[in-house]
Structure 1
Amino acid sequence: MSLPRSTSHSVDSLLGPGGALEAALPGYEHRPEQLQMARAVERAFNERSYLLAEAGTGTGKTLAYLVPALLSGRRVVVSTATKTLQDQIFFKDLPMMREKMGLRFEAAYLKGRGNYLCLHRYDSFSKDPQFSSREESRYWPKLKKWAQQTETGDRAELDLPESFSAWSRLSTTSETCMGTKCPLYENCHVTRMRKRAEGADLLVVNHHLFFADLALRSSGKRTEGVLPWYDAVIFDEAHALEDAASGHFGVSVSNYRLEELARDAVATLKEEDSRHAMLRALAARLRSSSEALFAQAPRALGLSGAESSVALKPETMEKLSTALEGVREALGALTAFTVGEREPELAAVTRRGDEMEEQLGFLEKAESPDHVYWAEQRGKGLFLRASPIDVAKELRERMYGALDTVVYTSATLAADSRFDFFARRMGLYGEDGQPVTQVRTLAVPSPFDFPTQAALYLPTHLPDPAAPGFIEAAAEEILKLCEVTGGRAFVLFTSLRNMVRAYELTVGRLPYQALLQGERPKQQLLEAFRETPSVLFAAHSFWEGVDVPGDALSLVIIDRLPFASPGDPLVAARINQLQQRGEEPFEAYQLPQAALALRQGFGRLIRTQSDRGIVAMLDRRIVTKAYGRVFLSSLPDARRLEDVVELSRWFNGPVRPVRTIR
């Protein structure tokens, strides 16, 4: 650690009235909300306690937790949901704190292993480079030159397409990495990254890396993670934690994973090695049995298309018992041949084969009451998965006992003004309903003047979202609303089907650039949106973590209340679990979860004190159903309108001065 607790700085001297931040940034005004949150975070560090802090957009929550974290004298992990926020913290906020606020500290930016060039795999690949297309092969000269010069090995330094398939053979994962047994371990980019992190006061990571590392450490099988030892964790964008954690505390076997094992097994030995022919034959057997399994699986399990999922039950898995047995036998034969061999590559094959054989057995039984089992098809990939239904128990067992200080923060943690839903989903209450540790809560309002800056349009003349003709009527409403604002709109959907249909119905009639999620990478879509008045049709990833301040975005249209689909296997399992506990799933899970999701969607609109615009909710149930009150009470206090003419008059009329709420 580079710096003990500072005696010359305090939260108040840096963030308070007349403090270092106000003096360093021209035009900056002290934010009471920011200081209030910073003091609460400081108290959590001093008391060794847990804090749930909801901080509305514009409060400056990032600095509100970074300052007390750096002053604490402890090594702190800051984990975010999005790369955008990760980049902002490391490349913007932290340098500003050094240069403008006089703080001295060391920070490290960490990503998952898959983001870094693996020197060992690169050496093997270079001897016989194979590409899936001529287009991919054109990147090879540039990649080779970069590999010789890079100091970090971070793929982000290269302008590679997201779909560059050869990268999986040039990088490694926690499963394929040989760790200390690798002949290039000391020079490894991940090893060097970890050593840099060991000297840092602050580690900036994302949720997926944090939980992948935690799952690896707590599995009992391997102890070397990517992250060094740390004292405390701050989870920003904490509303996304449950889904991130559940994906790493379960198991997944796919056709991709089995194919990669077969390919890596063959690559471990040179052709002149006497064992190579047998290893190649065993790998071919594994590949053949895997292909047989995944050729049968879609029809046997009831998968309905290239992007679909279905729950797995013991009786459905029984239909694949012969094919599954074939894969397990092939894995067993492969590991029986490689076990005991001295080469670390063959030892890794043995470990990976044993793990997959065990996981396939767990998946086939599909009998653990604490897990949900499902199959998922994504393009050419087919995945058999099992995840904990409830991550609360996992977090209590794997994390809370080892950490005395954890801060959860987001603009959306409270549903209907209460933190109970989030706290229970995160396991901060035990099965007896009692807190597992000292937990404080704080809700800091946004400084934005929402009654002046934002209007909430709530039409009731549209059909119910489940009624025939809804999306056609919604498309007409989208056209009218875009005319009010001159485009400059996000149209957010809860389903890809509705997104595509609405786009098809309006694209030829919009006098603005129309953009569709999936047609280009996300960053390119945002750049195009900012450059010219546009209408972006999007779902899923655009509901949160997207920041478009200023006039480029003046309208956010949401097609329907974002209830999670009860057809989703994980959602269905959570509903069933609550029913078995005697709880009402709608009140305890579905409603508060949807309310938080809607707040995220609303939050795309107002990003600065000069922003002004409209959020339109096309789902009449927010007004006509009793539970609509929960949604409305969770949203900022914007002006509510039901008539598009009145809405146009408000938006295009004289702009009242925005008052700053203190």
Structure 2
Amino acid sequence: MTSNALTDLSLAAFDRVVNATPGFRSRPGQREMAQRIAGSLSSVTLGEHPNPGKAIIVIQAGTGVGKSAAYLSTTVAMALARKTRVVISTATVALQEQLMTKDLPALAAVLDTPFVYALAKGRGRYVCKLKLERLAGAGEAGDDLFEADEDAPPPRAAFARQMQGEDPEERRMKLYDSLAVALAGGKWDGDRDNLAEQPEPRDWSAVAAERHTCTARHCPRFRECSYYNARTKLAEANVIVANHDLVLASLGRKALPELDNCLVVFDEGHHLPAVALDQFASAMDLSNLRWLDKLPKTLHEVSEKINLTLAQDVTMLAQQLKAALHDVGRILMDLLKVNISGYDGVYRFKNGVLPDELRDPMTLIQGHARGLSKALEALGAEVKLLAKEDPSQAVSCSVMYARLGQLAPKLGSVVDTSSLLLEHGPQPLAKWLKSDTSSGLVFLTAHACPIVPGDLLRQCLWSQVRGAVITSASLTSCGSFDYFLQEAGLVNNPCVSTLEVDSPFNYRTQGELIVVETAADPKNAEAYTQEMVGELLADLSQVAHGALVLFTSRVQMKAAVDALGPALQEVVLVQGQMARGRLLGAHQARVEAGLPSVIFGLQSFGEGLDLPGQLCETVFIAKLPFSPPSDPVEEARSEWLKSVGRDPFTELVVPATGIKLLQWTGRAIRTEDDHATVICYDRRLLRLPFGRRMLQGLPPYAVSRRVGGVALAA
């Protein structure tokens, strides 16, 4: 089929979808988006080719454009015609649910060609039946194989229950017995997300499916495996919905379609750079090293069972590694004591350079850990080979492989983190220590992370992708795509095109942005917070229906909560007081009952929250949403930029804050019928050049300022 024919076919599918939408209103921007996608992707070359055609379309689609209908109809119709598949990647569960329960069923109902869609999840979301059987007592007893990670700090909820006398072992046994019964009886499919009540992470980790503990086709439970059954459904799907983490983690692992042979959509694409940094970061625990006592014992027991002689003295290596980790831990604790107050805190190595006294022990750690890792991998390979050659030993081999696999992530984190900590090139890495006492014990961890996400994405993702759509309501900052293209590794890429599609909403008539001029400088946190809270409380007393207040820190939010009088205490719902879903439900119930209701929220409530109509008639922004200055990765990157003569505030901080501000103000107007006000208490938005630069990237609200309670022209 020619490019023109593919374009026409895709646009015909789009027209069919929008015409079948109840109450459809013509949105020129939505059609413009569909046309750009169809025209660009129609010329993409998929599969093996010496000189393939590529296209990456970056589209900012304002609130209300209907971007999911535009990209779904065009990419799915084109993929079906080309006999390929579509991977749709999101950043949030809420959007995944919308796609799976609303948008894709609606598309399937109107397309002539039937298609199958499925949700892809990481392996750890599924239960390992072999582990569960043994822990629930249905398998061979006395293995002492699959246990929760006792070295990890217990979550606060579990710690509190432990203090109240609850026996954690008894709770686990009840949980595993109930899961085994539900799985065996067909009442549960092995997907953690389909449980009525979510287990504690540490309890689940003991029965979760993991790559390191899985012998795949050689496992005696392979045909009944929840994860591989889900993989089979994915293989049959024409459209796969995943998340950014899974897409990046699956590169080269064949868990998802090869990206050079399918079409890809990254919705909520502004998250990609941050997800890339998370994927390539590494950390190692320096406090709990009991697993190193278990490791040589496990290696010896497994090697004896398969009559194999280990090539290395793993007992000596483990002892040497443990001693080196203890040495580094002592040095790092001394560093923390000198540089932070108390036992909680973060200490970053300036310019990514380790102190001299750390280099030798860290080099020893890297060497010993690599030696143990090679021994572990070699033994695991022999166990899998035995299972393949002698199926009668499949059960025992699966158990032995799982025992080895339980130790692989801890050992891998030591190898990876020590290697990154020792690495030093022209572009430094962020390297830091963190001490945490929230569980009642001191947990010390060492961390390392690249500082430029664009380089990672360019090398690992865009080198493989042939045809992609990246979309979001917030890809431009301060009126330009430059910041996102740089962060995403797409700058100067000839295959990239951009499109900004305005919202169909009339912001000048539907909304107003009021900037409150405080006497206190926002840089003077204490005085500013006190004045801002006073202004906020006066404004909250005027709320008639629903409103949202967004704070930049917990300290700031607590100051506002503590200042609430009895009347406002009855009105305000605070993030963290209850689960997000319950809180939003309570808010909606109050507003629908004719009562005022105000949500106090932090960063996560500034994005993805959909409160149309009376549910949110006012958004209050306590302060411009600059990231905390203590983030070690951002600190390291700013330090590096300064060292090469660049300005991190102008280049990074302002555009990143501009994107957040665009998201925060985007909570106000959600439909063509909404009328809402945004009130920002940070005078810098109008007074300072960087504030006016951020303002240029916001929708065209009617802007005014307020001084001493008096409204003035901006």
TM-score range, shorter chain: 0.7 to 0.9
Equivalence for 1:620: 683
* 1:337 shift after superposition: 7.8
Is the alpha carbon distance of 1:315 and 1:99 closer, same or farther for their aligned partners in structure 2, counting shifts above 3 Å? closer
Question: How many residue pairs get matched?
Answer: 628
* 1:185 shift after superposition: 3.8
1:125 aligns with 2:101: no
Superposed CA deviations along residues 435-470 of structure 1, whole A, max 9, x for unmatched, are 233211111110112122222120113412221321
Q: Is the 8 A contact 2:354 2:422 kept in 1?
A: no
Q: Which of 219, 236, 255 matches 2:267?
A: 236
Q: How far apart are the structure 2 equivalents of 1:31 and 1:465?
A: 40
Equivalence for 1:147: 183
Equivalence for 2:70: 64
Is the alpha carbon distance of 1:384 and 1:315 closer, same or farther for their aligned partners in structure 2, counting shifts above 3 Å? closer
Q: Which of 546, 549, 554 matches 2:612?
A: 549
Which secondary structure does the structure 1 equivalent of 2:469 belong to? strand
Q: How far apart are the structure 1 equivalents of 2:542 and 2:98?
A: 33
Superposed CA deviations along residues 353-375 of structure 1, whole A, max 9, x for unmatched, are 65344224324425343422223
* 1:119 shift after superposition: 2.0
Which secondary structure does the structure 2 equivalent of 1:455 belong to? strand
Letter in 1 for 2:37: V
After superposition, where does 1:97-136 map in structure 2 within 5 Å?
97-102=107-112, 104-127=114-137, 133-134=166-167, 136=171
* 1:310 shift after superposition: 3.0
Superposed CA deviations along residues 144-168 of structure 1, whole A, max 9, x for unmatched, are 3332225642111112246443011
Q: How far apart are the structure 1 equivalents of 2:499 and 2:298?
A: 55
Which secondary structure does the structure 2 equivalent of 1:643 belong to? strand
Is the alpha carbon distance of 1:578 and 1:447 closer, same or farther for their aligned partners in structure 2, counting shifts above 3 Å? same
* 1:236 shift after superposition: 0.7
After superposition, where does 1:17-96 map in structure 2 within 5 Å?
19-22=16-19, 24-48=20-44, 49-73=55-79, 74-96=84-106
Q: How far apart are the structure 2 equivalents of 1:268 and 1:634?
A: 58
Equivalence for 1:486: 544
1:340 aligns with 2:346: no
1:401 aligns with 2:463: yes
Superposed CA deviations along residues 253-291 of structure 1, whole A, max 9, x for unmatched, are 2369966787798889999x889xx99999999889878
Return 5+ residue gaps in structure 1 as ranges.
218-223, 430-434, 650-662
Q: Which of 543, 552, 562 matches 2:625?
A: 562
Is the alpha carbon distance of 1:462 and 1:209 closer, same or farther for their aligned partners in structure 2, counting shifts above 3 Å? farther
Is the alpha carbon distance of 1:169 and 1:279 closer, same or farther for their aligned partners in structure 2, counting shifts above 3 Å? farther
Equivalence for 1:503: 561
Q: Is the 8 A contact 1:335 1:349 kept in 2?
A: no
Q: How far apart are the structure 2 equivalents of 1:606 and 1:295?
A: 54
Q: Is the 8 A contact 1:21 1:101 kept in 2?
A: no
Equivalence for 1:653: none
Q: How far apart are the structure 2 equivalents of 1:160 and 1:459?
A: 45
* 1:206 shift after superposition: 0.8
Letter in 1 for 2:31: L
Equivalence for 1:226: 255
Q: What TM-score do you get using the length of structure 2 for normalisation?
A: 0.78
Equivalence for 1:212: 249
Q: Is the 8 A contact 2:430 2:451 kept in 1?
A: yes
Superposed CA deviations along residues 496-555 of structure 1, whole A, max 9, x for unmatched, are 222222222226551533333233332232222222243222212112122222312222
Is the alpha carbon distance of 1:608 and 1:449 closer, same or farther for their aligned partners in structure 2, counting shifts above 3 Å? same
Which secondary structure does the structure 1 equivalent of 2:640 belong to? helix
Q: How far apart are the structure 1 equivalents of 2:287 and 2:269?
A: 31
Which secondary structure does the structure 2 equivalent of 1:557 belong to? strand
Is the alpha carbon distance of 1:306 and 1:82 closer, same or farther for their aligned partners in structure 2, counting shifts above 3 Å? farther
Which secondary structure does the structure 2 equivalent of 1:615 belong to? strand
Q: How far apart are the structure 2 equivalents of 1:364 and 1:170?
A: 32
Q: How far apart are the structure 2 equivalents of 1:401 and 1:604?
A: 35
Q: Is the 8 A contact 1:556 1:616 kept in 2?
A: yes
Is the alpha carbon distance of 1:366 and 1:282 closer, same or farther for their aligned partners in structure 2, counting shifts above 3 Å? closer
After superposition, where does 1:575-586 map in structure 2 within 5 Å?
575-586=638-649
1:309 aligns with 2:346: yes
1:436 aligns with 2:496: no
Q: Is the 8 A contact 1:331 1:353 kept in 2?
A: no
Q: Is the 8 A contact 2:127 2:192 kept in 1?
A: yes
Q: How far apart are the structure 2 equivalents of 1:206 and 1:330?
A: 32
Equivalence for 1:300: 335
Is the alpha carbon distance of 1:390 and 1:631 closer, same or farther for their aligned partners in structure 2, counting shifts above 3 Å? same
Q: Is the 8 A contact 1:15 1:30 kept in 2?
A: no
Equivalence for 1:13: 12
Superposed CA deviations along residues 275-312 of structure 1, whole A, max 9, x for unmatched, are 9xx99999999889878866874553346578743323
Q: What TM-score do you get using the length of structure 1 for normalisation?
A: 0.84
Q: Is the 8 A contact 1:37 1:444 kept in 2?
A: yes
Moved more, 612-621 or 280-289: 280-289
Is the alpha carbon distance of 1:472 and 1:265 closer, same or farther for their aligned partners in structure 2, counting shifts above 3 Å? farther
Equivalence for 2:151: none
Equivalence for 1:630: 693
Is the alpha carbon distance of 1:487 and 1:30 closer, same or farther for their aligned partners in structure 2, counting shifts above 3 Å? closer
Equivalence for 1:166: 203
* 1:78 shift after superposition: 0.8
Q: Is the 8 A contact 2:61 2:503 kept in 1?
A: yes
Q: Which of 491, 495, 517 matches 1:460?
A: 517
Q: How far apart are the structure 2 equivalents of 1:185 and 1:282?
A: 35
After superposition, where does 1:177-188 map in structure 2 within 5 Å?
177-180=214-217, 182-188=219-225
Q: How far apart are the structure 1 equivalents of 2:423 and 2:515?
A: 45
Q: Is the 8 A contact 2:17 2:69 kept in 1?
A: no
Q: Percent identity?
A: 28
Is the alpha carbon distance of 1:170 and 1:632 closer, same or farther for their aligned partners in structure 2, counting shifts above 3 Å? same
Which secondary structure does the structure 2 equivalent of 1:484 belong to? coil
* 1:26 shift after superposition: 3.0
Letter in 1 for 2:229: R
1:386 aligns with 2:448: yes
* 1:594 shift after superposition: 0.8
Q: How far apart are the structure 1 equivalents of 2:220 and 2:283?
A: 29
Moved more, 538-547 or 522-531: 522-531
Letter in 2 for 1:254: D
Equivalence for 2:508: 451
Equivalence for 1:521: 579
Superposed CA deviations along residues 168-212 of structure 1, whole A, max 9, x for unmatched, are 111144455554554434432222222221222211011111111
Q: How far apart are the structure 1 equivalents of 2:331 and 2:196?
A: 38
After superposition, where does 1:234-313 map in structure 2 within 5 Å?
234-254=265-285, 297=332, 300-301=335-336, 302=339, 308-312=345-349, 313=352
Q: How far apart are the structure 1 equivalents of 2:220 and 2:335?
A: 44
Which secondary structure does the structure 2 equivalent of 1:105 belong to? coil
* 1:97 shift after superposition: 1.2
Q: How far apart are the structure 2 equivalents of 1:294 and 1:509?
A: 52
Q: How far apart are the structure 2 equivalents of 1:582 and 1:463?
A: 32
After superposition, where does 1:578-597 map in structure 2 within 5 Å?
578-597=641-660
* 1:581 shift after superposition: 4.1
Letter in 1 for 2:465: L
Q: Is the 8 A contact 1:471 1:498 kept in 2?
A: yes
